[in-house]
Chains A and B, each alone.
Chain A
Amino acid sequence: MIRIEDLHVKFRTDAGDVHAVRGISVNVPAGEFYTLLGPSGCGKTTTLRCLAGLERPTSGRILIDNRAVHDSANGTSVPAHRRDIGMVFQSYAIWPHLTVFENVAFPLREMRPRVAEKEIKERVAKALELVQLPGYESRPAPFLSGGQQQRLALARAAVRESPVVLLDEPLSNLDAKLRAETRLELRNLVKRLNMTAVYVTHDQTEALTMADRVAVMNAGEIIQEASPQDIYKHPNSRFVASFIGHINFVDGNIQKRSDLANGAVGEVDTPWGRLTYADGVDLAEGAKVTVAVRPENLWLVDAGDAGSANVIEGEVTEVVFLGDSLDCRAKVGSAELGMRLHPSNAVAVGDAIRMRVDPGDVAVLAS
């Protein structure tokens, strides 16, 4: 449905040229909820604006529904108002001089040939119904609350029934509680309307909970593109691992190559001890690597398990009670380690503990 091929964007600013997007290629099949995730300034919003036609790429090709809307090779570029796209802005971009009804009706009124007034009324009513804003038609748009404005923006993006919807951090101006409620609601709505969605966010929770597929971006490039589960469990780089969730890093040295096809796990030496890993990476023995383990994947085990495979021994240096969990830090030789335990565990500073990690939860990253 959406294809981006080798997209480059350069800006000229006061401080010199900025290469905001550096060769991005994306392929989003129809009906997918695709998310661009990254820190601010990574080029994710620029990419989205290129898709919308609000930004002119320096080079590359963009296809929507198999039609080239931008091709730097032959200089064609369809202006934004002729791309059939719905978009929700971070600021909502609700027109303050129009009523709720006129805000939603705007895209229909701009359609050529003209849409009949009766049909406009029906479709606006339907769109407002969809976002649970019926009865607000005649209200001036600025008199809506933040959450209502966000839903109004969504209704406006959906009213034309475009096959593609672009969402630029639409939840970032909502308060935390409302944001959590709206996440699934928004995803379900997009799925119900059978739209292809490209969603830009810097919030990892939004990316993980809403997307079918996530692309993690940094410095104008896509670092990793995978399903939320894969991104979380098998980050391909230190950047992705640390950007999403909490994680422990330690230097490692490959002792035995893994060969998952034949069921053979690999082994790696770390300051935590020797760990077996079931990561799919193909690294030769002796390679210097970074080993990453998430805090919630460490389990306390009995003293009897000491010395068995993937058990790390350490001494508790800090315990923080968070209500739904217990965050501990432990000293392991010269290295440190953070873990997240169930609050029922009784650990105290100074305790000697043993932690076990599953080989499937040991991520090995090339240094």
Chain B
Amino acid sequence: MTTAATTAGQEIAAERSSSLFNRGARLFPWLVLAVVAAMTIFPVFSLIVGAFSLSRLPNEFSWDNMGLANFYTVWVEQRIDLVIWNTAIYVGGATIFGIASAALLAWLVERTDMPGKLWVYAGVPLGLAVPGILHAIVWVLLLSPRSGFVNRVWIDLTGTRTPLFDIYTMSGLIFAEGLRLVPVAFLMLVPLFRSMDPALEEAAATNGANPFRATRRVTFMLLLPGLLAITIFQAISALETFEVPGILGLPVNLHVFSTRVFNIVDNIGTIPAFGQANAAAVFYLVIALVISVFYLRLVRHSERYSVITGKGYTPRLVHLGVWRKVAFAFAMFFLFVTILLPFLILLHVSLVGYLRPPSWAAFQTFSFKHYEVILNQPRAQIVLVNTIAMTLMTATAVSILSFLVAYIVVRTRFVARYLLDLLSFLPHSIPGIVLGLALFWLLLQFDVLTGASTFGSIYSLVLGFTIIFLAYSVRAMSVAMLQVHPDLEDAAKLSGAPPWRVAIRIFLPLLLPTLVGVWIYVALLSVRFVSLPLILAQGSSNEVLGVMIWYMWDNGEINSVGALGIMLMTVMFSLAIVMRLIGFGRQRAVGTAI
């Protein structure tokens, strides 16, 4: 037992340290808010200021040389309105095609007696591991008008001179991007179909509605808000993608917003016009923001319709009859085309001696020489190190920051927590190419002012990716934290555990699966993202794998692209499998235990 005097002494010391701790604890959320606000506001600010700058290059920027000329040039001379029109067709077409395919697959596995559902559940999400750039490249290898494997075979067989399908067209763009959207749309649609309480349909049926009317009046109307939200989410995704239109549209001057902005600063034969790129990017950003705000408003009110009760339903399955086999064949064909085919095509290209369609003669020339060539390049080794360093730093930074933001938003009564939530979501609507451009300006000016050398370093990529992936990670963290009942922490506090012990002994173990899941997911995304590092790329100091693939493709080193692509996809598939195994399996057990 301690004596009374020392107890009192300890208590005073404890109280003093606790008041210091309290003051720190009160300032901390403001610090996080400031960081998140700076990450959103500074790049956007420099983007907008840059749009008014009439200097030829960003580093010649001066407040005296400002004007509206860039907007005039972009709108009137370069006809950005045509790009808007193109973008609308591309986004609309790809979204409708993607959502329709995903909805059909989700409906087949959730609401029908189609065989082989497990293959679809396991296979479709694997499409996530195929980077957009490789996805687009594979379709070029298959459907490019003259050299595409499919078209070559078609021309040889029929003797015609017109290709079967030209991928370098708007329909090609819509087709490739639509397919790319399917995995995420599928993952979002499955819970929507699953949570539909069949009792609602049955109630409609017993009230005299025939099955078709019941489906239309009840099922569809209840699904509508969720379906609309998912559609808009996918439309934003299509709007922001650079990789697919960059590979398929850019070479034939078929421009959508993302490629147009890139084209203004990176066009062989013309001087990059950064101010004009910014002006175009401002239009692009405004459109993306408007759609995002609409999306946010939509999801905010969606709980009104939420039929999601977590109750176990016995879903009423539609009996397909003879169509079962057709449905199964369709699903398998889809999996083959979106998962297996890209891998096989890239594998073929990476092994074959020189580029030609698969044939017995081609197989004879198989060797690993393209892999050897790549691995022996000093450039490839630097790129690999850059990529790994960038990925590790990004995933770690995003995990930590999103943990802090989610904790403040979900668990504290911080006055500005809604603002923090909003600010962390906003970057979601900044397209990668726009953020890249904004950081290009911001970091150049920052370096001029401070003498630092952030521009052209891999830290610039880490910063950019942290901004882009923050929104997703904060959502995932918030959901996981909401599943941990606050009583669990309160009980620990009342058991005498100070806040940091509560964090270590209670909060961290319960959230670990989510943290690991978010970490791997962000790592996966940042490896495959091309637009942002492409615009920020400054040679070997910050070149990453996606950028290297882009340039090799540009130079026609197709076999090397195949070899790099196979290596990249192997890593991505393994990471995706690890994530499924540890990330989200255990989380459910914890969630239901409370």
Given that A96-B510, A96-B590, A97-B590 are contacting pairs, would A91 and B494 also be in contact in the complex, using a CB cutoff of 8 Å? no
> A106–B492 Cα gap in the complex (Å)?
8
Contact call A110/B501, Cβ cutoff below 8 A:
yes
Of A76-84, A270-278, A343-351, which binds chain B?
A76-84
- What 1/0 mask marks residues of chain A from 132 to 148 whose CB sits below 8 Å from any chain B CB? 00000000011000000
Contact call A89/B490, Cβ cutoff below 8 A:
yes
Which of B15, B490, B590, B594 gathers most chain A CB within 10 Å? B490
Task: Please tell me if B221 contacts chain A, counting CB pairs below 8 Å.
Answer: no
> A153–B494 Cα gap in the complex (Å)?
12
> A330–B560 Cα gap in the complex (Å)?
95
Find the A residue at minimum CB distance from B498.
Answer: A81
Tell me which residues across on chain B come within 8 A of A91, comparing CB atoms. Answer: 485, 487, 594
Tell me which residues across on chain A come within 8 A of B487, comparing CB atoms. Answer: 89-93
**Contact of B488 (CB < 8 Å), options: A52, A81, A93:** A93
Task: Please tell me if A338 contacts chain B, counting CB pairs below 8 Å.
Answer: no
Tell me which residues across on chain B come within 8 A of A261, comparing CB atoms. Answer: none
Contact call B495/A110, Cβ cutoff below 8 A:
yes
> A343–B497 Cα gap in the complex (Å)?
56
Tell me which residues across on chain B come within 8 A of A97, comparing CB atoms. Answer: 509-510, 590
Contact call B490/A160, Cβ cutoff below 8 A:
no
Find the A residue at minimum CB distance from B591.
Answer: A96
> A81–B495 Cα gap in the complex (Å)?
6
Tell me which residues across on chain B come within 8 A of A141, comparing CB atoms. Answer: 593
Within 8 A of A (CB), among B552-594: 589-590, 593-594
> A110–B504 Cα gap in the complex (Å)?
12
**Contact of B493 (CB < 8 Å), options: A12, A76, A81:** A81
Task: Please tell me if A163 contacts chain B, counting CB pairs below 8 Å.
Answer: no
Given that A76-B15, A79-B18, A96-B594 are contacting pairs, would A87 and B496 also be in contact in the complex, using a CB cutoff of 8 Å? no
Tell me the interface secondary structure of chain B in the complex. Answer: helix
Minimal beta-carbon separation of A93 from chain B (angstroms): 4
Tell me which residues across on chain A come within 8 A of B300, comparing CB atoms. Answer: none
Task: Please tell me if A73 contacts chain B, counting CB pairs below 8 Å.
Answer: no
Tell me which residues across on chain A come within 8 A of B499, comparing CB atoms. Answer: 81
- What 1/0 mask marks residues of chain A from 1 to 24 whose CB sits below 8 Å from any chain B CB? 000000000001000000000000
Contact call A95/B18, Cβ cutoff below 8 A:
no
Tell me which residues across on chain A come within 8 A of B498, comparing CB atoms. Answer: 79, 81
- What 1/0 mask marks residues of chain A from 92 to 115 whose CB sits below 8 Å from any chain B CB? 110111000000001100110000
Which of A12, A52, A106 gathers most chain B CB within 10 Å? A106
Contact call B14/A82, Cβ cutoff below 8 A:
yes
Find the A residue at minimum CB distance from B505.
Answer: A106
Tell me which residues across on chain B come within 8 A of A89, comparing CB atoms. Answer: 487, 490-491
Tell me which residues across on chain B come within 8 A of A53, comparing CB atoms. Answer: 493-494
Task: Please tell me if B506 contacts chain A, counting CB pairs below 8 Å.
Answer: yes
Within 8 A of A (CB), among B497-544: 497-499, 501-502, 505-506, 509-510
Tell me which residues across on chain A come within 8 A of B589, comparing CB atoms. Answer: 142
> A81–B15 Cα gap in the complex (Å)?
12
> A112–B171 Cα gap in the complex (Å)?
70
Contact call B485/A81, Cβ cutoff below 8 A:
no
Task: Please tell me if B301 contacts chain A, counting CB pairs below 8 Å.
Answer: no
Minimal beta-carbon separation of B532 from chain A (angstroms): 36
Q: How large is the interface on B (under 10, 10 to 19, 20 to 34, 35 or more residues)?
A: 20 to 34
Given that A79-B18, A81-B498, A95-B506 are contacting pairs, would A87 and B590 also be in contact in the complex, using a CB cutoff of 8 Å? no
> A160–B487 Cα gap in the complex (Å)?
19
Task: Please tell me if A85 contacts chain B, counting CB pairs below 8 Å.
Answer: yes
- What 1/0 mask marks residues of chain A from 42 to 58 whose CB sits below 8 Å from any chain B CB? 00000000001110000
Task: Please tell me if A38 contacts chain B, counting CB pairs below 8 Å.
Answer: no
Contact call A52/B593, Cβ cutoff below 8 A:
no
**Contact of A85 (CB < 8 Å), options: B413, B415, B494, B509:** B494
Within 8 A of A (CB), among B293-337: none
> A142–B591 Cα gap in the complex (Å)?
11
Given that A79-B18, A81-B498, A95-B506 are contacting pairs, would A54 and B493 also be in contact in the complex, using a CB cutoff of 8 Å? yes
Within 8 A of B (CB), among A262-295: none
Minimal beta-carbon separation of B507 from chain A (angstroms): 11
Minimal beta-carbon separation of B138 from chain A (angstroms): 44
> A93–B506 Cα gap in the complex (Å)?
11
Given that A93-B485, A93-B487, A97-B590 are contacting pairs, would A81 and B506 also be in contact in the complex, using a CB cutoff of 8 Å? no
Tell me which residues across on chain B come within 8 A of A78, comparing CB atoms. Answer: 15
Given that A89-B487, A89-B491 are contacting pairs, would A81 and B510 also be in contact in the complex, using a CB cutoff of 8 Å? no
Contact call B594/A81, Cβ cutoff below 8 A:
no
Contact call B495/A54, Cβ cutoff below 8 A:
no
Tell me which residues across on chain A come within 8 A of B501, comparing CB atoms. Answer: 110
**Contact of A95 (CB < 8 Å), options: B14, B488, B494:** B488
> A53–B14 Cα gap in the complex (Å)?
16
> A78–B19 Cα gap in the complex (Å)?
10
Task: Please tell me if A86 contacts chain B, counting CB pairs below 8 Å.
Answer: yes
Minimal beta-carbon separation of A220 from chain B (angstroms): 19
Task: Please tell me if A156 contacts chain B, counting CB pairs below 8 Å.
Answer: yes
Contact call B490/A93, Cβ cutoff below 8 A:
yes
> A261–B58 Cα gap in the complex (Å)?
96
Contact call B496/A142, Cβ cutoff below 8 A:
no
A residues apposed to B, CB below 8 Å:
12, 52-54, 76, 78-83, 85-87, 89-93, 95-97, 106-107, 110-111, 141-142, 153, 156, 160
Provide 28 A-B residue pairs closer than 8 Å at the C-beta atoms, listed in order of the A residue: A78-B15, A79-B18, A79-B493, A79-B498, A80-B493, A81-B495, A81-B496, A81-B498, A82-B18, A83-B494, A87-B491, A87-B494, A89-B491, A90-B487, A92-B487, A93-B487, A95-B488, A95-B506, A96-B590, A97-B509, A97-B510, A106-B495, A110-B495, A110-B496, A110-B501, A111-B496, A141-B593, A160-B496
B residues apposed to A, CB below 8 Å:
14-15, 18, 413, 415, 485, 487-488, 490-499, 501-502, 505-506, 509-510, 589-590, 593-594
Q: 18 other contacts beyond A97-B590, A106-B495, with CB at 8 A cut-off?
A: A12-B415, A53-B493, A53-B494, A76-B15, A79-B493, A79-B498, A81-B496, A82-B14, A85-B494, A86-B494, A87-B491, A89-B487, A91-B487, A91-B594, A93-B487, A156-B495, A160-B495, A160-B496
